[in-house]
């Protein structure tokens, strides 16, 4: 494989270099002997610099970071060759005890999923202070003071009170800020951020990126940013390394990589990045029919009226219901045949709760009419039949697939439950579904763990199609996928919609993806729809200030358009929790100027 190095890339060791990786090879064991998953990989990192390692899943990005941190899963993986120089110290030669003194103190890491990286049984305060006590040798009171200062630095409100909370009591954005605070509390020389914003809303992502930039400026920390989001790369990186199949494909400054990519793989990655405006351009490029066509009246597949979902919270000595979460508050919308309606908004706005209500997974009040039948009050047998018309594609395909079943059994299971087809006919239909989503019928005998993330999502799409539904609810179905895989899955969804006449309720926090796939867009905030309209109306002329802020926060995959600051609220979003007796009939939303949203 040829490595393309731009003329302005760093090829010699600089005086301000804090980390240098030379010829790193990471091997994993197998029946046929060890094989390299990272091969002959080299780069250097200067103080205060942000180096981005980009590439698809399986390219070796995360294995490289784990090798630097001394966290390779043993005995399955090991460093086969090369050096990892942190100053004059070769991390590849340190024992586990010696590495424990370096890890966190001189080199720290922010992991992709904070909920699985934070200990669920320990408070935030204990998890912060234990690292400070271990490395700094200070007492508990001083460690607590430093922990509060670290939370203040990452702009977490009421930092002292957060120390007594557990991870599940914080939002996704808050948990990610806690991870950043833990990583930077000891002021490390190098910070590795492995997909730190993949699962975050666009506005929270902007705040996290701005926070990293501010802390880097204040502390001089060098950052290795691992991501598949090329918009984030354009916003953050000074230099870029593109990886594929464990090897370096291309390296150079961010401006050079985006302006003149030399490697074919780099060009493919950049071409797959969804960009704002592409959806409107694609619609405008469609050839108009030669003769006037009769105006078709859209037929609603789903008609939702005054949908409300509230969750009880028990408190007090007797465990009575004293508060409720107002997850969804009286929303109404419809989805027509062959239409894609996207629900967008930040975490906690009620998008996923709305999806679960449509699928009959949570109790609700209001009316959900599917194919002319109201779901409310239906007998169990009729409810089961109605669910054939509404299927879901979940965000995490691995978590939604039973690891004990083959993917063939998983795709055929809905047909078995609803008594559709038998024996050879069911097997034939299952094989046809695999072919339709771009998989081979021979894959049917394999298990979920044997597939990549994109392939697993295709299995989930095949399972959703098994009952030939009228509506598919896609809940963050492409948010965790690489840009190239994401582009292929989105194109597959479009093709299936044209072929089978499916309607989509598409839930996403990625505004560029929403702009590309949607016919109409509904913007949710605190359980209510604050704006709804066609794609051109919402993206071309947004009326609500909250919608405007969402669109402004979208990272642009162009280093020439890098922003000095990300738009953000100057205070936290109000809580949707209301005490019994204090709850209003509706949360009254007002337009907000200067970053304010008011809930009455």
**pLDDT tens figures, 364-377:** 999 999 888 888 87
| 3-state SS, residue 66 | helix
Looking at residue 407, its pLDDT comes to 92
Give residue-wise pLDDT tens across range 198-256: 666 777 777 778 878 887 888 888 999 988 778 888 888 999 999 988 899 999 999 99
Q: What is the DSSP string of 518-554?
A: -SEEEEEETTEEEEEEEHHHHHHS--SHHHHHHHHTS
The whole-chain average pLDDT of the chain stands at 82
Total residues belonging to the chain: 600
Other CB atoms closer than 10 Å to residue 364's CB: what's the count? 23
Looking at residue 15, its pLDDT comes to 61
Burial class (CB in 10 A: 0-12, 13-18, 19+), 399: exposed
User: What are the residues whose beta carbons fall under 8 Å from the beta carbon of 33, sequence distance 6 or more?
Assistant: none
Please, are residues 145 and 133 in contact by the beta-carbon 8 Å criterion?
A: no
pLDDT at 139 over 50: yes
Q: For the chain, which domains are there? A: 4-106+188-271 (3.40.50.300), 117-187 (no CATH), 300-401+468-599 (3.40.50.300)
Residue 123 structure tokens: 């408070």
pLDDT at 549 over 70: yes
Span 15-43, average pLDDT? 85
Between CA 584 and CA 581 the distance in angstroms is 8
Looking at residue 324, its pLDDT comes to 77
The percent of residues above 90 in pLDDT, for the chain, comes to: 26
Other CB atoms closer than 10 Å to residue 319's CB: what's the count? 8
Please, are residues 355 and 475 in contact by the beta-carbon 8 Å criterion?
A: yes
Whole-model pTM over 0.85: no
Among 199-203, 259-263, 296-300, 587-591, which stretch is predicted with the lowest mean pLDDT? 587-591
- The angle, 0 to 180 degrees and rounded to 10, between the axes of the packed helices 453-465 and 407-417 is 20
Please, are residues 59 and 245 in contact by the beta-carbon 8 Å criterion?
A: yes
């Amino acid at each position: 494989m040829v490595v393309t190095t731009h003329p302005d890339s760093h090829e010699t060791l600089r005086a301000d270099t804090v980390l240098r990786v030379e010829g790193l090879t990471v091997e994993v064991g197998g029946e046929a002997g060890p094989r390299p998953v990272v091969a002959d990989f080299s780069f250097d990192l200067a103080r205060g610099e942000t180096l981005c390692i980009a590439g698809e899943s399986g390219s070796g990005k995360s294995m490289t970071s784990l090798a630097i941190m001394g966290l390779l899963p043993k005995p399955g993986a090991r460093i086969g060759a090369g050096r990892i120089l942190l100053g004059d110290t070769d991390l590849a030669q340190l024992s586990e005890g010696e590495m424990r003194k370096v890890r966190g103190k001189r080199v720290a890491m922010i992991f992709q999923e904070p909920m699985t990286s934070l200990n669920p049984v320990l408070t935030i305060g204990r998890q912060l202070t234990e690292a400070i006590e271990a490395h700094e040798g200070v007492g508990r009171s001083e460690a607590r003071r430093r922990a509060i200062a670290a939370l203040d630095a990452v702009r977490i409100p009421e930092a002292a009170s957060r120390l007594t909370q557990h991870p599940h009591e914080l939002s996704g954005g808050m948990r990610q800020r806690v991870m950043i605070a833990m990583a930077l509390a000891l002021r490390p020389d190098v910070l590795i951020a492995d997909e730190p914003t993949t699962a975050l809303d666009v506005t929270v992502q902007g705040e996290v990126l701005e926070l990293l930039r501010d802390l880097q400026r204040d502390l001089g920390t060098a950052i290795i940013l691992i991501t598949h989001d090329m918009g984030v790369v354009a916003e953050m990186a000074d230099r870029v390394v593109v990886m594929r199949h464990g090897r370096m494909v291309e390296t150079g400054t961010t401006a050079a990589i985006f302006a003149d990519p030399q490697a074919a793989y780099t060009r493919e990655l950049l071409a797959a990045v969804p960009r704002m405006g592409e959806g409107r351009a694609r619609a405008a490029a469609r050839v108009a029919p030669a003769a006037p066509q009769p105006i078709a009246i859209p037929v609603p597949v789903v008609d939702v009226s005054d949908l409300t979902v509230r969750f009880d919270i028990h408190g007090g000595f007797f465990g009575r219901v004293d508060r409720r979460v107002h997850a969804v508050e009286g929303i109404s919308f419809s989805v027509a045949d062959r239409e894609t309606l996207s629900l967008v908004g930040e975490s906690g706005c009620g998008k996923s709760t709305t999806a679960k209500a449509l699928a009959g997974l949570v109790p609700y009040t209001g009316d959900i009419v599917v194919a002319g039948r109201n779901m409310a009050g239906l007998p169990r047998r009729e409810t089961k039949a109605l669910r054939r018309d509404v299927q879901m594609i979940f965000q995490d395909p691995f978590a939604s697939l039973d690891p004990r079943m083959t993917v063939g059994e998983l795709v055929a299971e809905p047909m078995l439950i609803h008594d559709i087809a038998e024996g050879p006919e069911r097997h034939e239909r299952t094989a046809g579904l695999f072919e339709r989503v771009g998989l081979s019928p021979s894959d049917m005998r394999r298990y979920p763990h044997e597939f990549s993330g994109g392939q697993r999502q295709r299995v989930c799409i095949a399972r959703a199609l098994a009952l030939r539904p009228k509506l598919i609810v896609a809940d963050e179905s492409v948010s965790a996928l690489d840009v190239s895989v994401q582009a292929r899955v989105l194109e597959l969804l479009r093709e299936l919609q044209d072929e089978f006449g499916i309607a989509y309720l598409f839930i996403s926090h990625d505004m560029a993806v929403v702009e590309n796939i949607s016919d109409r867009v509904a913007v949710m905030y605190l359980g209510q729809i604050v704006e709804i309209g066609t794609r051109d109306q919402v993206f071309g002329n947004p009326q609500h200030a909250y919608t405007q802020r969402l669109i402004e926060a979208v990272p642009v995959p162009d280093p020439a358009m890098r922003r000095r600051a990300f738009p953000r609220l100057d205070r936290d979003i109000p809580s949707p929790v209301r005490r019994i007796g204090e709850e209003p009939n509706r949360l009254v939303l007002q337009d907000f100027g200067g970053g304010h949203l008011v809930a009455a």
